[in-house]
Amino acid sequence: MVSPIRWSNNDYYLGPFTYAYNPCSREFAFMLGSGDSADYPGCRLRVSVGRHTLIAALPPILKPRWQWYDFTTEPTRSKMIAAGRKPGYRKPHEREYGFSTGDNSLHWHFGPQTDDSETTKSKCWFYPWSDRKCIRHSLYDLDGEHFATLPEWGMRHKHGWTVRNAIEAICPSAKFGFKDFDGEQITATCKIEEREWRRGRGIFRLLFIGRNTVCRSLALQFSSEVGRGKGSWKGGTVGHSIDMLPGETVEAAFRRYCEQEELTFVGEAHKE
């Protein structure tokens, strides 16, 4: 008898069936998939309707695809050749057949999912009424006052990255010390950013005139890897962004982040 498949932290099991509830999900899906690893442990049929997901564990009627990858780096390649082994390894990739759709797009899977655009068998269509295009990326000082707006041509101009990096380098920032889960003390560099997205494409843009989406965030850069995956093949994170609440200061936002991630806030290092 096949074992039920784990899907989330809110799973309920009954024989080969898994029921999962996610209050934030709006997905509709019908997907037949194979197993390839601990992340996808076995063949299954998944049906998702909004917040509810039902998964039936199946016998191995659908096999994963195994793909060979050559080692091209030294000295690993030479060592394997000297040992009489072919320099490389085989890796399994799941096969999926079906569709899933959410707020923004429709995904159609019809074969191996290899994370490679040339070999993955999938298509994705974004709904024109949910299309979003970033039209503004601005930087703010530590008091929340506008500092600069990065030029729109920054990514296309031959000096675009140089200009962008120069502006970001002189933008005021704050540094805070904190302790990771293992006691290592790390410094976080924090800057306030704001992005504006224009919603809708083509005629569907008319639905959202004057209703662009604006999000203010706190960009974090860490002096060392952070998280329980650091030092392993998974690795930790060295930087990302978090949403800021209305009227929230830089320190308040970072303290909230530390509390959510179970980090120990130490204090302000210095401002730049």
Question: Per residue in 74-130, pLDDT tens?
Answer: 787 788 888 888 888 888 888 999 999 987 889 999 998 888 888 899 999 988 888
In a domain, 145, yes or no: yes
In a domain, 243, yes or no: yes
- For residues 6 and 38, the answer to whether their CB atoms sit within 8 Å is no
pLDDT at 157 over 80: no
- C-alpha to C-alpha distance for 179 and 77, rounded to whole angstroms: 39
In a domain, 3, yes or no: no
Chain centroid offset of residue 132 CA: 17
Q: Which domain holds residue 145?
A: 132-271
Residue 40's pLDDT is what? 56
- C-alpha to C-alpha distance for 144 and 246, rounded to whole angstroms: 11
Boundary residue ending a domain (87, 106, 126): 126
266 and 136 part of one domain: yes
- C-alpha to C-alpha distance for 42 and 36, rounded to whole angstroms: 7
101 and 136 part of one domain: no
Q: 73 or 238: which carries more pLDDT confidence?
A: 238
Residue 37's pLDDT is what? 60
Amino acid at 48: S
Alpha-carbon torsion (149, 154, 160, 161), positive or negative: positive
Q: Tell me the mean pLDDT in the region 243-272.
A: 89
Percentage, residues of the chain above pLDDT 70:
94
pTM comes to 0.61
Strand runs labelled E in 113-162: 122-126, 132-140, 146-149
Residue 117's pLDDT is what? 81
* Partners of 138 in the β-ladder: 149, 194
- For residues 36 and 94, the answer to whether their CB atoms sit within 8 Å is yes
In a domain, 2, yes or no: no
Boundary residue ending a domain (90, 106, 126): 126
Query: How many distinct structural domains can be found in the chain?
Result: 2
100 and 139 part of one domain: no
- C-alpha to C-alpha distance for 44 and 5, rounded to whole angstroms: 8
146 and 199 part of one domain: yes
Tell me the H-state helices in the chain. Answer: 76-82, 160-170, 250-260
212 and 107 part of one domain: no
189 and 87 part of one domain: no
Residue 22's pLDDT is what? 85
Average pLDDT, the chain: 87
Question: Under 8 Å CB-to-CB from 246, ≥6 apart: which residues?
Answer: none
